[in-house]
Amino acid sequence: LNVLDHWSHLAFLVGFFVYMRTRHAFEARFKGTESLERRVDRVELVTLVAVSLGAGVLPLLFLFSPWLAFADVSLPLWCEVLGAASMLAGLWLFWRSHADLGRQWSVTLELRKDHQLVTRGVYRRVRHPMYTAILLVGAAQGLMLHNALAGWSGMATLSVLIALRLPKEEAMLVDQFGQDYRDYTARTGRLLPRLGGGQ
Ligand code: SAH
């Protein structure tokens, strides 16, 4: 089994498990939060399915079956170590952004009943820290799995999802919060802290 061939495969699997647990814990905590508005189109649904394949099914298929062997590659130790660091940073940021976003969180684009604009914690300087976290975990997948297809399918599908979603998400938040969200935009960066920014 591929999963036992390299320490980085096992470490990725543990990280993947922690990632899923974190999400489920917050999903359970805010279960039943009412939605006021949902903006989900066909593009969004197709890209969500692509992401579950690229960042879920393919890596697991690679780890537990021989079927993706045609795309095997050999990675140097520094790649695996960099990947593990990216995984740890991503998991921490994923957890913190869930904690700070609280009941405002949703899988797709939604506004909750009594939706509050969050600008604190990891949202203070970055508008989309959860997407940054997901991309860090996606990079870890590529750097830790010794397979080009199962490794980079996560990053590829996630980048498309996030690139298509960001403008729609920000438009929705401007519709809802108006000038407050524009001011927040002016002092923050999308995925990384704004250079020279801050109040
Ligand atoms: N894009 C954010 C949140 C992802 S969850 C991030 O990457 O951290 C998606 C939902 O979060 C969206 O439906 C939107 O309603 C909500 N959201 C995004 N930014 C928000 C903010 N600053 N305050 C409150 N809700 C926000």
Are 5 and 13 spatial neighbours (Cβ–Cβ below 8 Å)?
no
Instruction: Decide: residue 62, CB within 10 A, 0-12 exposed, 13-18 middle, 19+ buried.
Output: buried
pLDDT score at 41: 87
pLDDT score at 1: 86
Taking 70 as the pLDDT cut, the residues of the chain under it are 196-199
| Pocket mutation for ligand 1, best pick of 100, 104, 108 (most atoms within 8 Å of C-beta) | 104
pLDDT score at 25: 96
Give the Cα separation of 194 and 197 in Å (integer).
Answer: 5
Ligand 1 mean position, distance from CA 179 (Å): 17
Q: Does pTM top 0.85 for this prediction?
A: yes
- CA-to-CA dists, residue 48 to 45, 52, 109, angstroms: 5, 6, 12
Ligand 1 mean position, distance from CA 115 (Å): 10
pLDDT score at 197: 53
Residue 161's closest CA among 188, 140, 184, 130?
130
Encode pLDDT of 139-172 as tens digits.
999 999 999 999 999 999 999 999 999 999 999 9
